[in-house]
Amino acid sequence: MGDITIPASDMHHLLADPTRRYGTSYQQAFADLAVSHRGRPVNEIVPLLRAAADRALLGFTTADLTEQAEAISGGARYELRVRVTG
């Protein structure tokens, strides 16, 4: 399970928000990769997650992204704990 802290004003970067027009949320990018890259090597998935995190302006660590990639590769559920700041 991962942890991230983001300002409330940036939640649309992480979660899909139909009321905002901000490209693709990280949530959607992760879901897409979970479908298209299940069973693929972790080292192939990490750069794709890094690119999605960078586009969403989210500061995931390499360890976070590796953990997420392992979940995608293995088809496991991934839980992210989000702290929202004022």
- What pLDDT, on the 0 to 100 scale, is given for residue 34? 96
- pLDDT digit string, tens, across residues 4-52: 888 888 888 888 777 666 667 899 899 999 999 999 999 999 999 999 9
Rounded distance between C-alpha atoms, residue 57 and residue 15, angstroms: 12
Query: CA 23, CA 56: separation in Å to the nearest integer?
Result: 8
Do the beta carbons of residue 11 and residue 27 sit within 8 Å?
no
> Given this model, what pLDDT does residue 23 score?
67
Query: Can you give the pLDDT at residue 3?
Result: 83
Would you state the structure tokens that stand for residue 86, as one six-digit string?
A: 């004022």
For helices 62-74 and 42-55, give the axis angle rounded to 10 degrees: 120
Higher pLDDT: 80 or 1? It is 80
pLDDT at 24: 73
Q: Domain residues of the chain, as ranges?
A: 2-85
